[in-house]
Chains A and B, each alone.
Chain A
Amino acid sequence: MNLPFDVRFERRSEDNPWWLPVATALGSVVVAFVISGIILKLTGGQPLVVGKFFWQATFGSWPTFSDTIVKATPLILVGLACAVAFKMKLWNIGAEGQFYMGAFFASLVVLVPIVPMDSPKVVILGSMMIMGMIGGALWGFFPGFLKAKFNVNEIITTLMLNYVAILWNNFWIFDKWSDAGFQMTPMFDKKAWLPRLADYAHQYKAFSGITLHLGVLIGFVAAIVVWWIFQRSRWGYEIKLIGDNPEAARYAGLNITRNIVLVMMFSGALAGLAGMSEVSGVVHRLQERISPGYGFTGIIVAWLAKLNPFAVIVVSILFGALIVAGREIQPSGLAQLLQGIILFMVISSDVLLRYKIRIVRVKPLTA
């Protein structure tokens, strides 16, 4: 077949304009929504009705928007966790397990209890945050250590540890701390709850029923810290260098082994903090399925945000909306499907950043 034109890929030599990555990311999300709509139609659903419902359930009113932000909060932290690891080309797929371990360790503060429950709220919440980060960091340490010491593939180890973390959590909520045989611990003391806007409803009427909690601020602060590390600190520079060119980093005398362990622990600590924010800000107890796959969604969030900490916040809100709507939309896998297609579109569209696609006229061959 001889077409009168030819599609050519030309490698981009100059730097991309700043808007191009943003445009391709937005474009891929739009295309992903359209494709999901088509699939929904194929299964006999009504895409436009679902779409309208999606909007109302997520951004339609203040309480629903607050729900969206509440779901976005753990995503911000987990997305940052993935972004940090991915910057160094460390595939931490274990944010889900680190999240659970963070939640578990944070809950220990109340359940053991580690600090007396009559101490001030700041002390209790502070120690929960620290314990959450320790739990996540611990769960990041093992794969990091195995990778650094024995060159064991971190994708598999982090993934396997996800399952281990969930089973570990299950043991404690089914056994020692089960609340009267239910698969959950007793409700935490109010002092271990992150403050919510609804708590101030007696002063400001508008806040009643708004579940937004302090965790979102933790997320914002974490984003600033991550941004500062990458843009301003020597450590961040080292991480980026190792990620971009490990050979050069080795010749420059950087300690790659140590950095692998440290970055995995830092990444785990952020995911653990997300777990703490969820038990302390939302569920107020340790129970089964505290995460509807936040750890995995965080991977997509980080990638869609091109590992930029502030973009992580924006993308998290979109995916928070997906989770809120996904709880109510039938069929239940739709949100996950949409996430998969979005990620596919994003990585496919990256080719536009590396190549110019040109359609050129081919001169007809004349004999």
Chain B
Amino acid sequence: MNLEIILHAGIATGTILLFATIGELITERSGIINLGVEGMMLVGAMTGFSVSLATGNPWLGVLMAMLAAGMLGLAHGLVTIHLQADQVVSGLALTFLGTGLALVFGEGLTGKNPPLVPNWSLPGLAHIPFIGPTFFANHSVLVYIGYIFIPAVWFFIYKTRPGMHLRAIGEKPEAADTLGVNVYRLRYLYTFVGACLAGLSGATISLAVSPGWYSAQTTSGQGWIAVGLVIFAQWNPLRAAFGAYLFGALRRGILDLQGPAVLLGFTNPLYINSNWSFFLKMAPYLLVILALVVGSRAAIKKHIGSPAALGVPYIRGDR
């Protein structure tokens, strides 16, 4: 097993989780929980795939994937912001709706080969030993977009005025409102943005990292892992990025463990009986739970936690 290859694949897989996790993080920062990430990702993956197939332009596919998922996000926004429905249930509805839409419109896409988002090697950087081949060589452009995306989001949330408004409407919407911030409009906006990123994450699967349309197996629960990672990250984009790459690498590493007959000098039990890999496949899901336990204990100790108004509908004039 070659560490370079495993890390390379892990970074690519992590990019999927990165977009979805940061998207959900932004939405939750504005005070809206959107549990429909899995559904939105599937819609994104399907839309991106089929648009690229139809037009021959993968970038148009990525764009449409974001918009399609964004529309679902707006539906969630309408139901939870104006109609004040329960955000948890609405998010679940969105999961069903997105999955259903993706399966209905994705009928017959399996096995097709649309043009994919191109792979690049960054000149100069790619030749640094170890780091170059792992991080900067032969990756999809979307992976590099991910690298730039992380500091950009951090800067936006913590260092800009709109970012301050974003945090304010999630922590204390009534105070933000008195300062002239339009809470409703911004919550719509960030629900839309978060959903678009979930769509991007879906397109990252189908048009870049593991190209293809495998109906509901395309995402296989990564949307839910993203939701868990947001809590693990304590709503901090840098921790979210770390978690996304860690879990991405883990998912990949598990696949790679099954290959070799001898592992670290021992006979590989997975090689003899591949059924043991079912237990290995449980690891990411169990680790999310473990991460949440560790995270929430730390949160209790340090008195940090979710945005104060998370999940609470804001009703103007209801104070």
From B84, B93, B225, B297, contact of A340 by CB (8 A): B93
Known: A331-B107, A347-B90. A336 touches B96 (CB 8 A): yes
CB-nearest residue of chain A to B97: A340
From B84, B92, B279, contact of A167 by CB (8 A): B279
| Interface residue SS majority, chain A | helix
Check: B98 CB closer than 8 A to any chain A CB: yes
Bound CA–CA A309/B102 (angstroms): 32
B75 lies within 8 A of A344 (CB)? yes
Check: B35 CB closer than 8 A to any chain A CB: yes
**B140 to chain A: closest CB distance in Å?**
26
CB-nearest residue of chain A to B281: A167
Check: B221 CB closer than 8 A to any chain A CB: yes
A164 lies within 8 A of B282 (CB)? yes
Known: A343-B92, A350-B83. 15 other contacts (CB 8 A): A43-B105, A43-B107, A151-B296, A155-B88, A155-B227, A156-B224, A161-B285, A175-B273, A296-B96, A331-B104, A333-B101, A333-B107, A333-B215, A340-B96, A347-B85
Check: B304 CB closer than 8 A to any chain A CB: no
A331 lies within 8 A of B103 (CB)? yes
CB-nearest residue of chain A to B86: A347
A338 lies within 8 A of B100 (CB)? yes
B278 lies within 8 A of A332 (CB)? no
Residues on A with beta carbons closer than 8 Å to the beta carbon of B296: 150-153
Check: A5 CB closer than 8 A to any chain B CB: no
Residues on A with beta carbons closer than 8 Å to the beta carbon of B103: 331-333, 336-337
Residues on A with beta carbons closer than 8 Å to the beta carbon of B208: none
Check: A315 CB closer than 8 A to any chain B CB: no
Check: A168 CB closer than 8 A to any chain B CB: yes
A164 lies within 8 A of B286 (CB)? yes
Residues on A with beta carbons closer than 8 Å to the beta carbon of B71: none
A339 lies within 8 A of B100 (CB)? yes
CB-nearest residue of chain A to B87: A347
**A358 to chain B: closest CB distance in Å?**
16
**B300 to chain A: closest CB distance in Å?**
7
A330 lies within 8 A of B107 (CB)? yes
From B86, B88, B95, B99, contact of A333 by CB (8 A): B99
Bound CA–CA A347/B82 (angstroms): 12
**B315 to chain A: closest CB distance in Å?**
10
B279 lies within 8 A of A150 (CB)? no
CB-nearest residue of chain A to B306: A153
From B39, B215, B293, contact of A152 by CB (8 A): B293
Check: B262 CB closer than 8 A to any chain A CB: no
